[in-house]
Chain A
């Protein structure tokens, strides 16, 4: 069942020196219970896309077009108070920096209780507190009964992120957006947190949209993956397919930039150049100035996302249109 359907979403930042098209016509579908990875370099618009789903794009950013259907309802058309009912209840988000995402003046327990009460005013504070302890246990915080009364600064980094996850899960959301949830954590904690998210996803039957630049964790955990470049979705498909047989030259470049791939002789290759300025992207395919395989139409015509053989496989590159014709 389709849980979330993004159609031709455009999110622009109206800055002083021009319009930055951070997300420019992205279409994407998320199935119920699916673990979806969204990868791309820094500044390619993947976090903006995540924020846009909750309608929390910071100013001067604005959704400039498109629609986001959540269980069949276009949430971009909802009035703000209806949207507030969805946030934290049916769609939750966990942020990159768990330290900053927790309010320093409240105990961890208070912050979970607050989330529960915001959406369930009929629940008593006592019941909400019991649920908070239950949630801390669920995310694997030892001594939850005592730690529920502690402040964020008394938690270690990994424990803080677990607490943030507990807050996000407080109302059993159907969709969890995880924006680089482990970037600030060390590798062992990263593995623990992601394994935990994966377990919780199965247990609670929610979908996860994981936003990351780490292809390793995408390979390890996700069912499907989308590759973003300069505000566009350039490739999407089952994780196994995309990572073992990348079609888009950009995806290939990304995979070539991982050390250790291709055995002993394998060399790390970089993608030459940098991400284009999104206020003034190159014409045609946005990747063409850096692309090793560019040809005639690339600098003039923008490639559309076209289906390829394989389950849900799509790519936006002129190479494949040529093959087709």
Chain B
């Protein structure tokens, strides 16, 4: 079992290596998406270094400064908010919140969803019946409504947002993995694997699961984008991350009050959300193509039939 798990990690790494990278290097979508994502990721990781100001430091003397080119100065390139906090710095720190909430919740959702989906699809029968009815119940609830209800019950806060995100995004993983397992377990190579004398754990982890990686990785990127939007939405309506944390959704929400006299307060967080989601989606699309093992013909490998 432990050998199975370590080799599973190797599979995943090998999957993302070599041909995948060389394919993506030639895909303009991946380059654009990857660049955008990388800029945000770097901002999030090195916020302390790149942010010019403390995101929490109010400076009432400089409140509501417009951005450069709209009457502002390079002191505050994207302007300041109602209490004079530097918008650029807040956006940079906001990337940290957005990306980490999304990344942590998607990771947890993958763990929960994939385990339950694999159990369901591989073993079938009563387990499948019970798990899938739970999934149906979950799906019959609008996700936004569920997220809002959860936040109302749990109260605002970073980890509560993560919990709400996880609880609303594990379902697609369970469904996709179950579906893939249902077809994969009928595939002749699974019978062939049984014929070489391996057990269920080997078949689940080594034969079936790696074949779901393309779908899983693509679904993860889309769920990542979705959770960024959800976090922003929850914070926007005031039940997500607590102020004064620089969440993009929170900034968007407070900026709304100044939309007519200081449009930049709402504009830039909105733009940041759009850009990062677009970047991740472009990356996800390209990953989907790149992870198809037969894609190598696109790389010029001649295949003689």
From A36-44, A60-68, A85-93, give the one contacting chain B: A85-93
* Bound CA–CA A118/B199 (angstroms): 9
Among residues 89 to 112 in chain A, which have CB atoms less than 8 Å away from a CB atom of chain B? 89, 92-93, 95, 97, 100-106
The reply to whether the CB of A167 lies closer than 8 angstroms to some CB of chain B is: yes
Selected from B188, B211, B305, the residue in CB contact (under 8 A) with A95 is B188
From A150-158, A211-219, A286-294, give the one contacting chain B: A150-158
User: For chain B, what secondary structure do more than half of its interface residues adopt (helix, strand, loop), or is it mixed?
Assistant: helix
Contact with A along B10-50 (1 / 0, CB 8 A): 01000100000000000000000000000000000000000
Nearest CB in chain A: distance from B167 CB, A? 31
Our count of residue pairs bridging A and B at CB distance below 8 angstroms stands at 80
Nearest CB in chain B: distance from A82 CB, A? 10
Q: Which residue of B lies closest to A51 (CB)?
A: B191
Q: Is A153 a contact of B199 with CB atoms below 8 Å?
A: no
* Bound CA–CA A259/B99 (angstroms): 71
Q: Is B196 a contact of A88 with CB atoms below 8 Å?
A: yes
Nearest CB in chain A: distance from B207 CB, A? 6
* Bound CA–CA A157/B210 (angstroms): 24
Contacts of B194 in A (CB 8 A): 54, 56, 87
From A93, A153, A156, A170, name the one whose CB has the most chain B CB atoms within 10 angstroms.
A153
The reply to whether the CB of A84 lies closer than 8 angstroms to some CB of chain B is: yes
Q: Is A101 a contact of B189 with CB atoms below 8 Å?
A: yes
Selected from A95, A119, A156, the residue in CB contact (under 8 A) with B192 is A95
Q: Which residue of B lies closest to A86 (CB)?
A: B197
The reply to whether the CB of A8 lies closer than 8 angstroms to some CB of chain B is: no
Among residues 239 to 261 in chain B, which have CB atoms less than 8 Å away from a CB atom of chain A? none
* Bound CA–CA A118/B198 (angstroms): 6
Contacts of B11 in A (CB 8 A): 105
Nearest CB in chain A: distance from B196 CB, A? 3
The reply to whether the CB of B145 lies closer than 8 angstroms to some CB of chain A is: no
Q: Is A114 a contact of B294 with CB atoms below 8 Å?
A: no
Q: Is B197 a contact of A105 with CB atoms below 8 Å?
A: no
* Bound CA–CA A97/B187 (angstroms): 11
Contacts of A143 in B (CB 8 A): none
Q: Which residue of A lies closest to B7 (CB)?
A: A114
Q: Is A105 a contact of B188 with CB atoms below 8 Å?
A: no
Contact with A along B198-216 (1 / 0, CB 8 A): 1100100011001101000
The reply to whether the CB of A58 lies closer than 8 angstroms to some CB of chain B is: yes
| Total residues of chain B contacting the partner, CB 8 A | 27
* Bound CA–CA A89/B293 (angstroms): 29
Contacts of A154 in B (CB 8 A): 296, 301, 303
Among residues 52 to 101 in chain B, which have CB atoms less than 8 Å away from a CB atom of chain A? none
* Bound CA–CA A100/B190 (angstroms): 9
From A86, A89, A106, name the one whose CB has the most chain B CB atoms within 10 angstroms.
A106
Q: Which residue of B lies closest to A116 (CB)?
A: B196
Q: Is B195 a contact of A103 with CB atoms below 8 Å?
A: no
Q: Is B199 a contact of A84 with CB atoms below 8 Å?
A: yes
The reply to whether the CB of B1 lies closer than 8 angstroms to some CB of chain A is: no
Q: Is B211 a contact of A89 with CB atoms below 8 Å?
A: no
Nearest CB in chain A: distance from B300 CB, A? 13
Contact with B along A136-154 (1 / 0, CB 8 A): 0000000000000001011
Contact with B along A150-189 (1 / 0, CB 8 A): 0101101100000010010010000000000000000000
Q: Is A167 a contact of B303 with CB atoms below 8 Å?
A: no
Q: 30 A-B Cβ contacts within 8 A?
A: A56-B195, A58-B191, A86-B197, A88-B196, A88-B197, A88-B198, A89-B197, A92-B195, A93-B192, A93-B195, A95-B191, A97-B188, A100-B187, A100-B189, A101-B192, A102-B189, A103-B193, A103-B210, A104-B211, A104-B293, A104-B294, A105-B211, A105-B213, A105-B293, A114-B198, A118-B198, A153-B294, A153-B303, A156-B304, A156-B305
**A binding-site residues for B, Cβ under 8 Å:** 54, 56, 58, 81, 84-89, 92-93, 95, 97, 100-106, 114-115, 118-119, 151, 153-154, 156-157, 164, 167, 170
Given A102-B189, A103-B207, 16 further pairs, Cβ under 8 A: A93-B192, A95-B192, A100-B188, A103-B193, A103-B210, A103-B211, A104-B293, A105-B15, A105-B211, A114-B198, A153-B294, A153-B296, A154-B301, A157-B305, A164-B192, A167-B196
